[in-house]
Amino acid sequence: MMKFHVLTLFPEMIKQGLSPSIIGKAAEKNIIAINPVNIRDYTQERHGKVDDTPYGGGAGMLIQAQPVYDAHRAVSGGRKLRTVYVTPQGRPFDQSLAKELAKEEELILLCGHYEGIDERVLEEVVTDYVSIGDYVLTGGELAAMVIIDAVARLIPGVLGNETSAQEESFHNDLLEYPQYSRPEVWKGKSVPKVLLSGNHREINKWRLEQSRERTERVRPDLYERYEARQQLIKRLSKDKRNNIHIMECLARGHGEILYAKGEDIAVYNRDSSTCMLKAASPESGRMLLKYCPDETRWHVVSQAFMKTLLLEQGCQEFCECRQFLYTQREPLPVQHKDIRRLGLESLEYICAHYDMETPEYIRDRLLAGVIYGAFVDQHLVGFIGMHDEGSLGLLYVEKPYRGRGIATSLEAYTVNRMLERGWIPYGHVIVGNETSVRLQEKLGFYQAKDTFWWIEKQ
């Protein structure tokens, strides 16, 4: 559960503004928690006063440091929680920052009022200064609610549909394509014929074209970033089998290009805190490592000298893998028919049978709706999922049910879900797991030539 603490002079405004609709329902389901904190409750002034005139003169009043500091301490308990002060002087709020903030377990938002807040307490508690636009509001409450709404909807389970947050404005730096509903003709304007064709491949092609055209026309800044990723994908496609993990990260809109010149490439996936690296030499490899964000947890490399460089920096090898990818566009046959998307009710079962990931990670994947289970006589006997960096994984089938094609069906089912989204399915198989290798080959996956290492930052 992600917790939003809002330090404000108007807690009822936060409650009333966020309680309806999707955000309120997510709070009722305990997927998120919203905690409005009244700064006035922490003033030491007997009449409840929290403001005073600014030193040096000037119009208006200023919120004093003491009640803000005490309110913050009451929420944080002295912990170093990320604290956002909403102010026109801050960093512009965008989808990238929303994704970054969504990774926090707790977030404090500080709402200013009057002429602002005493600078001394801002220096003491604030970690981020954030602006939702170049204009001035009467207070920070509306801005805080905008940030909460944008961040909360990225948290697994809030939207109730794992594809909703991925298929809208700003996904992959493209604006959303035009949408149409009934009636087919309205005021002489018809729905584009392609949307009535039932040909999903052509529909997806049309939507992409529309998104590109709209973005280039309305937001050339976004379109420039999109084109940079497309150009890098094109370069990487010359060695598709060894580069598919980077290509898909970019194509699905999760990859941020940190560096890309010649053979030296660094791409960061903020969703999984994973940095994917390829270097021309050990010297350029050292240079690339300087571009990796401080919050990087994982490095994925396929060059032995990059592995050595990371180990020399104190990182630890997690596993050695082979990369497999499925390049065909036709869906795979699924023999086992009772396969369903799993929810939180399956958390304990999965954790009991799959110990390579933490319960917190499994919970997030379940909330994201990307773990599927196979059932026999209404009994869950196995599962598979998609990792947060985009690969297939989490495959398990109970021993009494192995040899019945259930694992094959589970992977085929997940491949088909990925194909529906226009993705190229790929996965990493730990070296030595020959059973999994045979499964990939049976399903028509191609094996990359290179060995891949997952290196964990300590």
Phi-psi region of 186 (alpha: psi -120 to 50; beta: other; left: phi over 0): beta
The residue type of 54 is P
Amino acid identity at 39? I
Other C-beta atoms within 10 Å of 453: how many? Answer: 21
Q: What is the pTM of this model?
A: 0.81
pLDDT at 57: 85
Choose among 108, 455, 109, 408: nearest CA to 308.
Answer: 455
Check the CA dihedral 42-43-47-50 and report its sign: negative
Angle at 262 between CA 261 and CA 264, to 5 degrees: 70
Q: Are strands 371-376 and 339-341 parallel, antiparallel or unpaired?
A: antiparallel
According to DSSP, residue 45 is labeled: S
| Tokens at 51, concatenated | 């403001």
Q: Is the dihedral of CA 274, 277, 283, 288 positive or negative?
A: negative
**Three-state DSSP class for residue 208:** helix
- Residue (of 454, 340, 417) closest to 166 by Cα position: 417
| C-alpha–C-alpha distance, residues 342 and 328, integer Å | 27
Distance CA 290, CA 124 (A): 29
pLDDT in tens, 374-391: 999 999 999 999 999 999
Rg value, the chain, Cα = 25
Question: Cα separations (Å) of 241 from 228, 232, 278, 280, 450?
Answer: 21, 15, 14, 18, 9
Report phi then psi at 298, rounded to 5: -120, 145
Total number of residues shown for the chain: 458
Q: How far apart are CA 451 and CA 304, in angstroms?
A: 9
H/E stretch holding 429: strand 426-430
Q: Cis peptide before 183, with omega less than 30 degrees from 0?
A: yes
Which of 102, 113, 362 shows the shortest CA–CA distance to 254? Answer: 102
pLDDT of residue 171: 63
Which stretches of the chain drop beneath a pLDDT of 50? 166-169
pLDDT the model gives residue 68:
98
3-state secondary structure 359-416: HHHHHHHHHCCCEEEEEECCEEEEEEEECCCCCEEEEEECHHHCCCCHHHHHHHHHHH
